[in-house]
């Protein structure tokens, strides 16, 4: 695990030590170490991630170019969905992996921290998000105390289920800007403690202004409109992801390591790309890179008790029941 080089913050500690966990759970965590990012050959691991990043950016260019020949009323809705998925993938691949210090792997840990922060901040700034506080630190808190009131990423009041989830979806998609400017944090105090970062806001404005100018001048005005609406799609995808991972009774289980589950359903690889739905595996051992999570899952099937598997691995109709409660 990486020691954060931020003297202002303290690393959270587990309430339940690993030695107190059931034997099968300890073995399941240790099993993931065979896929640990530090055991990867850096040039191969980094090539995989950079190559996938390039594919995502090329997809963004392709979607942008399609605005030059598709009718506006066709491109805007389709482009919004496409840009939403693209932005979702950027968060999963870059920001999330970087927060675990494994988007870029280096033998020298200081170099690894530097490069992961660079990539993490670039993407996060575009959304006005504090990468260090919300991801390097906040995501660690989420892993240690998932769904607690002090979890800045998934505190209980921000997990929408059933009617509330679908209501949120409609509001966000029908009222562009709601997600960015209107939505309150439902009394979730943890993110509010970040305060206001003028440099971050300035950086966000500069990045969006540059993107709007370049895409409008060199491609079309529809591109920034679809990209902005894509942020709304990103928000909806994220809320559905959270509902699948931690929603309902799952998020209130006594053992923090059991407060997540994995989901399998048709089109999973498209709607929830890069193995992001293999969340139980990720919470067990967050040092396993995204591309090895399915291998980890298949091996976990051999050691996790059958009764437990029903609680942590959801498929098809079980996924629907999970999010619609």
* Predicted confidence (pLDDT) per residue in 304-317, tens digit: 999 999 999 999 98
* Predicted confidence (pLDDT) per residue in 236-292, tens digit: 999 999 999 998 888 888 888 899 999 999 999 999 999 999 999 999 999 999 999
Among 66-80, 111-125, 133-147, 286-300, which stretch is predicted with the lowest mean pLDDT?
133-147
According to the model, what pLDDT value does residue 10 have? 40
209 domain residue, yes or no? yes
Which structure tokens are listed for 128? 């006005």
Instruction: Give me the domain span that covers residue 101.
Output: 26-324
Kindly state the average pLDDT of the residues 73-84. Answer: 97
4 domain residue, yes or no? no
Which of these, 14, 84, 8, 7, lies nearest to 283 by C-alpha position? Answer: 14
User: Greater confidence, 110 or 151?
Assistant: 110
Kindly state the average pLDDT of the residues 219-230. Answer: 96
User: Greater confidence, 160 or 290?
Assistant: 290
5 domain residue, yes or no? no
According to the model, what pLDDT value does residue 1 have? 34
Are 79 and 66 contacting, i.e. CB atoms less than 8 angstroms apart? Answer: yes
Percent of the chain with pLDDT over 90: 66
10 domain residue, yes or no? no
User: Greater confidence, 17 or 68?
Assistant: 68
According to the model, what pLDDT value does residue 103 have? 97
The count of domains in the chain is: 1
89 domain residue, yes or no? yes
The pLDDT-based confidence of 147 (bands split at 50, 70, 90) is: confident
Kindly state the average pLDDT of the residues 199-215. Answer: 95
Q: 315: part of which helix (H) or strand (E)?
A: strand 313-315
13 domain residue, yes or no? no
Are 4 and 280 contacting, i.e. CB atoms less than 8 angstroms apart? Answer: no
pTM, two decimal places: 0.90
According to the model, what pLDDT value does residue 9 have? 36
> How does DSSP assign 133-174, residue by residue?
IIIIIHHHHHHHSTTSTT-SSS-GGG---HHHHHHHHHHHHH
From residue 197, alpha-carbon distances to 9, 98, 121, 133, 188 in Å are: 17, 21, 13, 11, 19
Can you name the residues that pair with 262 across neighbouring β-strands? 313
Residue 12 has pLDDT above 80, yes or no: no
Instruction: Using DSSP, state whether 262 is helix, strand or coil.
Output: strand
Question: Which phi and psi angles does 314 have, rounded to 5°?
Answer: -110, 140
76 domain residue, yes or no? yes
21 domain residue, yes or no? no
Are 233 and 81 contacting, i.e. CB atoms less than 8 angstroms apart? Answer: yes
Cα 292–Cα 297–Cα 299 angle in degrees, nearest 5: 100
Kindly state the average pLDDT of the residues 110-126. Answer: 95
Q: Own/partner pairs for 62-67, CB < 8 Å, 24+ apart?
A: 63/226, 64/215, 64/219, 64/223, 65/219, 67/219, 67/220, 67/222, 67/223, 67/226
Residue 42 has pLDDT above 80, yes or no: yes
According to the model, what pLDDT value does residue 264 have? 95
Which of these, 135, 189, 166, lies nearest to 247 by C-alpha position? Answer: 166
Kindly state the average pLDDT of the residues 120-134. Answer: 92
Q: How far apart are CA 131 and CA 95, in angstroms?
A: 8
* Predicted confidence (pLDDT) per residue in 166-198, tens digit: 999 999 999 888 877 765 545 677 776 776 688
According to the model, what pLDDT value does residue 3 have? 32
């Amino acid at each position: 695990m990486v020691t954060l080089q931020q003297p202002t913050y303290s690393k959270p500690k587990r309430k339940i030590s690993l030695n107190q966990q059931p034997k099968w759970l300890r073995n399941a965590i240790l099993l993931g170490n065979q896929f640990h990012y530090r055991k990867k050959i850096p040039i191969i691991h980094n090539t995989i991630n950079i190559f996938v990043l390039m594919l995502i950016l090329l997809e963004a260019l392709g979607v942008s170019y399609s605005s030059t020949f598709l009718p506006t009323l066709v491109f805007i809705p389709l482009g919004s969905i496409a840009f939403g998925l693209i932005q979702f993938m950027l968060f999963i691949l870059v920001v999330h992996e970087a927060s675990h210090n494994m988007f870029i792997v280096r033998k020298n840990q200081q170099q690894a921290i530097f490069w992961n922060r660079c990539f993490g901040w670039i993407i996060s700034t575009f959304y006005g998000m504090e990468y260090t506080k919300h991801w390097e630190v906040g995501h660690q808190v989420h892993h240690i105390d998932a769904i607690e009131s002090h979890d800045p990423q998934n505190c209980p009041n921000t997990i929408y289920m059933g009617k509330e989830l679908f209501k949120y979806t409609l509001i966000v998609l029908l009222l562009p800007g709601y997600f960015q400017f209107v939505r309150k944090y439902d009394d979730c105090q943890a993110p509010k403690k970040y305060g206001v970062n003028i440099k971050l806001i300035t950086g966000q404005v500069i990045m969006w202004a540059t993107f709007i100018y370049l895409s409008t001048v060199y491609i079309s005005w529809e591109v920034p409109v679809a990209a902005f609406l894509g942020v709304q799609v990103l928000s909806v995808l994220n809320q559905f992801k959270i509902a699948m991972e931690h929603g309902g009774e799952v998020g209130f289980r006594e053992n923090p390591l059991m407060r997540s589950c994995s989901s399998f359903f048709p089109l999973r690889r498209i709607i929830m790309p890069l193995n992001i739905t293999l969340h139980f595996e990720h919470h067990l051992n967050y040092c396993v890179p995204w591309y090895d999570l399915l291998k980890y899952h298949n091996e976990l099937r051999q050691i996790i008790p059958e009764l437990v598997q029903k609680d942590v691995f959801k498929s098809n109709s079980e996924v629907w029941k999970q999010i619609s409660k």
